[in-house]
Structure 1
């Protein structure tokens, strides 16, 4: 007699169970302190939100508490740049894991001002330059903010001016990277304009619920499954997911692929956006970071959620 297949795990129950397990880990990791405005965030916070392509939602903990998006914004500016200039972007930025620190200038010099991928700082600055092209910094910042608002279906997303000022006051390495690339003619707009745009995009405040909703189009090959709107071509959406898989967690991208098996992008604000192709988008937030700058508790939550739901691209 053939055994009946195991029923699919219940999303609500699984998210709640994983969330309760994470309660015992709250406060683990080290809150980012090199950006003064982030150093004051309560390290005991934890939130998680899942939205499926059919519109089912499941949340736990501080899923509605805003946090600083930081490097997760790079997913959305990459989307915007590909929409604006298409494949020509890859002439200015590579698609390989860096194997070096996210703010390394040594590698940039060896490779003649072409950053290794769009998610290390130098690469993200080039992408921001592509988004800025032909506009003022204020116009580009508003466009990035409004894009996030539209994708998240929420008008409350906005820039945290204190964080943006804090980043600008301490972003000396980013200034060095941008000027270095300018020396190789890989920066087309004024460095100050590009970096003001970059600092502001990283300072957007967003919740887990909003972030999962904003990233949902990547789970459906560039089409928002809830509205039917085409956000990005299927080819470009696959490229974004591929780079999230290989480069989205800096030096720990391989480990994240090994343990979670899904495309993801982290930020030093403690957030992680993860895409489950054809199924869902997941956002977690816990401010304490591990030794390579990714959310310690958030990563653990994603490992357990993916394992229990049977989610993996492998």
Structure 2
């Protein structure tokens, strides 16, 4: 088996030769400006080793990867009552689909599709103004990474709001079913801003450490969330973390993962390591094209699939 440094170097060289790098998420104008040639990987092991290559220290819009952390906060605040308002099943539809909401009474299939994450944002709003809730999410990420430089890309947030007509429709539709307790524009304000958080691969991998360590941050020994809840988040990442491409990701890579249309993927190897990859070009399901290939190769080289003997 190669060392991590050797594996990352081989993967970096292989990905550099790819001509078809996917398509950037140009339906959000600010994301459409990102150079598709960017590529970085970071790995943080549970013994606190940090390994990086490529553009691993360049920040990018984490987009839907942020939903892992808002879900963590919401489970910490309201516990299993969250599941009365959000399901736990794969959607089988696009991340911004409205079809199932009508059939299922305004209850989103899972917390990682857009509708589900908007409900989670609504839950986090309880007793707070949107600005306070956004600040709480930022403080949580800064706490996990021990890095106070993490911030929101306001240009991306504004770009999302200006073009987020489908998300406005989802929020209003759920409000009509009584599954939003606050005005839709308030829940959407939180949602657009947490999706616009900018982080690097290194920061993302550090932020996810607790999910590879039964809810405990291995750098501090402090509990972030209960073990059972951490395992459930990992289960949802495996089954729902890549939208209607989740089954293919589980098949090809074999670890819990959460993607974002900014081109990032956060991967969890329980008991071993946290992985983060960034390549802005997306495949047909809205997941990083080269990021998926890279994580699949890394998991195979290091025997990290959760299905491995």
Alignment TM-score, normalising by the size of structure 1 = 0.96
Give a deviation string over 1:140-163, Cα, whole Å, max 9, x none. Answer: 011111111111121111000100
Pairing of 1:97-176 with structure 2 (within 5 A)? 97-176=90-169
Q: 2:87 aligns with which of 94, 103, 118?
A: 94
Instruction: Tell me what 1:240 maps to.
Output: 233
User: Quick check: 1:178 aligned with 2:201?
Assistant: no
**Is the aligned partner of 1:290 residue 2:309?**
no
* Alignment partner, residue 14 of structure 2: 21
Give me the whole-angstrom Cα distance separating, in 2, the residues matched to 1:24 and 1:251.
28
Give secondary structure in 1 for the equivalent of 2:190.
helix
The answer to whether structure 1 residue 52 and structure 2 residue 57 are counterparts is no
In structure 2, the partner of 1:35 is 28
Aligned partner (choices 51, 58, 62) of residue 55 of structure 2: 62
Give 5+ residue unaligned stretches, structure 1.
1-7
**1:85-135 Cα shifts (integer Å, max 9, x gaps):** 000000000000001111111110000000000001000100111111110
Alpha carbons 1:26, 1:44 under 8 Å: kept: no
Corresponding residue for residue 212 of structure 2: 219
- Count of paired positions: 307
Aligned structure 1 segments of 4 or more residues deviating by more than 6 angstroms: none
Verify: 1:257 aligned to 2:254, yes or no. Answer: no
Contact 1:93 1:123 in 2 (8 A): yes
CA distance in 2, matches of 1:195, 1:132: 11
Q: For the Cα contact (< 8 Å) 1:216–1:225, is it kept in 2?
A: yes
Contact 1:131 1:140 in 2 (8 A): yes
d(CA) in 1 for partners of 2:144, 2:246: 25
Kindly state the Cα deviation for residue 233 of structure 1 after the two structures are TM-superposed: 0.4
Alignment-derived partner of residue 3 in structure 1: none
Q: Which residue of 1 aligns with 2:71?
A: 78
> Alignment RMSD, CA only?
0.9
Distance in 2 separating the partners of 1:124 and 1:27: 31
Asked whether the 8 Å contact 1:151–1:213 carries over to 2, the reply is: yes
What secondary structure, in the 3-state scheme, does the structure 2 residue paired with 1:142 have?
Answer: helix
Instruction: Specify whether residues 268 and 245 from structure 1 end up closer, same or farther in structure 2 by C-alpha distance, changes over 3 A only.
Output: same
8 Å CA contact 1:26–1:45 kept in 2: the answer is: no
Q: Helix, strand or coil: the match of 2:34?
A: coil
